[in-house]
Structure 1
Amino acid sequence: MNSMLPMEKYFGKLELVHAFYGAMPTGVTVSETGRIFICFPKWGDDVKFTVAEIVNGKLTPYPSLETNLVSFNDLTRSFISVQSVVADGRGTLWVLDTAAPNFSEPIIGGAKLVAVDLDTNKIRKVYTFSEEVVLPTTYLNDVRFDFRVGKAGYAYITDSSSRGPGAIIVVDLENGNAFRRLNGANSTSPDPYFIPKVEGRILMNRNKDGSTSPFRLASDGIAISHDGKVLFFCPLTSRHLFSISTEFLRDRTIPDRDLTYRVEYWGEKGASDGMITDAKGNVYAGDYENNSIRKILPNGTMETIAHDPRILWPDTFSIGPDQYLYVIVNQLHRQSRFHYGKDLREKPYSLLRMKIGELPAPSK
């Protein structure tokens, strides 16, 4: 009997940049000078520092170990549990702190967006949020920037809540004014009919006591067009891609109920965690159900650029000045909360990259 039967084809040239043998990473960003930053939210692993820079192949707490130690005397200047790091291409690393270790309610006063100066490696500015913006159910997930509008630019943050309304949080970086948009809208909410299947198995919450429930997570992936005019976003538990004009998001004279009619639907791109845009307006998105990476062209055409068994949950993407697409692969679906308390993750987690020949979208 011939055992060499046809098999699934894999493609896309991926290189290993860094292997992680400690805590599980979620975020990666590459600065305009090629510095690489990583974040490790506190989801149960032994997280010694929640933000790090890869220096000479080693993880170094960033901007300092002290900043990564929770200080209840100064929650605004210490990192609690960071979900996302984004270098803006203009000398600043932005740190998005959920202040919600283990998906708890955010510690009051702890949820924040922090600007770190990459020249001095010092915190330059901290934006905190009111209780109308960061709700008890909020989980701040990812952030994108546009410095072409307003006096100091705007930030757009996804609230990927698992038990409350999803939303896009809009932040005026001049004065820190923040407000929720598309709050609980279909486009920012989990798809109620979506059943995720990863590595051939249905993904759902499976608790130690044997009880189960559907896995539901709201708006997560976010990308901004190369000209700053369009924001792309997607719920984590959904295969759908949506977009909206950033001008509509900023315009508070448009009521939220009317804003939902301004959302555009791009079709199915696969189920994605992170997304990123290049300088030509192409959007890159993971497909965690199929161990793949998709490229979505400005005309809506979608193509798969990588399909590889090592892409075990593509989380966050970043495009470096070297024209490589970087992606964190972290086996998120193998965590114990999906397997009756048994952790099925295998070390190492990885930071991979592939050459795309495109530069990151500018933020100004």
Structure 2
Amino acid sequence: MTYPTENYFGKLEAVHAFYDEMPTGVSVSETGRIFINFPEWGDDVKATVVEIVDGELIPYPSAEANQFIPEKPEQGFLSVQSIVADGSGTLWILDTGAPNFDVPIKGGAKLVAVDLETNKIKRTYTFSSEVVLDTTYLNDVRVDLRRGSEGVAYITDSSITGPGALIVLDLSSGESFRILDGTKSTAVDPDFIPKVEGEILMNRSADGSTSPWQVAADGIAISPDGKTLYYCPLSSRHLYSIETDLIFDKTINDEELEAHVKDWGEKGASDGMITAADGTIYAGDYENNGIRAIYTDGSMETIVHDPRILWPDTLSIGPDQYLYFNANQLQRQAGFHKGKDLREKPYYLYRIFIGKAPAKVE
């Protein structure tokens, strides 16, 4: 006897299998180079940033850059959460400086610009204690090279114990500031109950104690013209946006800025997001093993639904017009299952053809 089953769809292609540490970030450069990062979340991380070269994981930009020196925290990578190739010759590397979501090491939390032609670090940006708090976890980053003399970077603070926020960094001066600090759009949705693989996702310790799993602002994307910044808390199904001109309007203070935030409604629960050249936003749907497209008119659809998509993390669009993302089984980590690690190696880098180029940033 045959039975009806769930309908899966979308042509998913496996690009790389990871048999060791768990990846989070992926970014594909304008020349098709593929970069991956591995945060320090308890696995034996040999290099926190790598490039996939002929199927091998090569420390990037060098093995030395992946060696953290406590006496010089700004010089080596400690725990990289996100990487973004800007399409204009630079790979931006976001180091949390906070292994296992601990308090960030002073000077360890940083944004590093690497020249993709020379494979050399060209600048490192660090943050003051007023911007990177003891509760801060730097999560994802987007750059816009058109604003100001050298551009700006927008970074999410996906704190699990303090206020969520967006961090704005002037790439010329190195000055940074927090916006929408602790507001509804960057905070955990108190009514959100995540359900993944048929069960509620929550912290479950080996001693039997439990607590809600709550992570603030995480996914971030920018419109092709740089005028709209989109973002979402990890513990939420809502998509929010703010017009970027308002962020730099000196007549609007941060308390007033919240009134200008747009709530696009539910898009599904997402980790990473990315924007295509036509303004379409692509977002993971970690509760439903899928990837969703959010169009400029606000309509949405699922473009791929596949049981292999076990927690779609960071997304990147390559010059080949494929959408790339890691499926890293985040929901199977030991902290959610009474100390038992349920992840099954390998983790995978997948791609799906979307027929669209990435949005430009300059």
Q: TM-score, normalised by structure 1?
A: 0.99
* Percent identity between the two aligned chains: 67
Distance in 2 (alpha carbons) for counterparts of 1:45 and 1:270 = 29
Corresponding residue for residue 64 of structure 2:
66
Which stretch shows the higher mean deviation, 199-208 or 65-74?
A: 65-74
The answer as to 2:196 corresponding to 1:198 is: yes
Partner of residue 353 from structure 1, selected from 351, 357, 360:
351
Gaps of at least 5 residues in structure 2 are none
Q: Which residue matches 2:114?
A: 116
> What is the aligned counterpart of 2:171 among 173, 192, 198?
173
Secondary structure at 1:77 match in 2: coil
**Contact conserved, 1:284 with 1:293, CA < 8 A, in 2?**
yes
Match of 1:128 in 2: 126
Q: 2-side partners of 1:139 and 1:209: how far apart? A: 26
The equivalent position to 1:306 in structure 2, one of 304, 307, 310, is 304
Matches within 5 A, 1:78-89: 78-89=76-87
Q: Give the match for residue 292 of structure 1.
A: 290
Residue aligned with 2:291, SS: strand
Shift of 1:75: 1.3
Aligned to 2:337: 339
Instruction: Tell me, yes or no, if the aligned pair for 2:73 and 2:106 is still in contact at 8 Å.
Output: no
Aligned residue for 2:331, secondary structure, equals helix
Counterpart CA distance in 1 for 2:348 and 2:227 is 33
Q: What is the CA–CA distance in structure 2 between the aligned matches of 1:343 and 1:251, rounded to whole Å?
A: 48
| 1:183 to 2:187 alignment | no
Q: Is the 8 A contact 1:23 1:45 kept in 2?
A: yes
Matched residues in 1 for 2:212 and 2:311: separation? 18
One-letter code of the match for 2:159?
A: S
| Cα distance between partner residues in 2 of 1:180 and 1:171 | 9
What does 1:1-364 correspond to in 2, within 5 Å? 2=1, 4-364=2-362
> CA separation in 2, counterparts of 1:123 and 1:277?
26
Cα shift readout 1:136-175 (whole Å, capped 9, x = no counterpart): 0000000001111100001000000000000000001110
Give deviations 1:322-358, integer Å, cap 9, x for gaps.
0000011000000000011100000000000000000
Measure how far apart 1:257 and its partner are.
1.0
Q: Distance in 2 between matches of 1:195 and 1:112?
A: 32
- 8 Å CA contact retained: 1:170, 1:250: no
Runs of 5+ unmatched residues, structure 1: none
1:110 counterpart letter in structure 2: G
Note the aligned Cα RMSD (angstroms): 0.6
How many residues of Structure 1 are paired with residues of Structure 2 in the alignment? Answer: 362
Task: For residues 221-252 of structure 1, give each alpha carbon's deviation from its aligned partner in whole angstroms, at most 9, with x where no partner exists.
Answer: 00000110000000001000000001112334
Q: Give me the whole-angstrom Cα distance separating, in 1, the residues matched to 2:43 and 2:180.
A: 33
The 2-side partners of 1:37 and 1:74 are apart by 25
CA contact (8 A) 2:92 2:113 kept: yes
> What amino acid is aligned across from residue 33 of structure 2 in structure 1?
R
Query: What is the identity, as a one-letter code, of the residue corresponding to 1:226?
Result: P
Secondary structure in 1 aligned to 2:185?
A: helix
1:100-135 deviation line (CA, Å, top 9, x unaligned)? 001100001110000001111110000000000000
Displaced runs of 4 or more, over 3 A? none
Q: Which amino acid aligns with 1:156?
A: Y
SS state at 1:48 partner: coil
Following the alignment from structure 2 to structure 1, what is the Cα–Cα distance between the partners of residues 71 and 134?
A: 21
**Any conservation in 2 of the 1:197–1:289 contact (CA below 8 Å)?**
yes
Residue 256 of structure 2 aligns to which amino acid in structure 1? D
Amino acid at match of 2:157: D
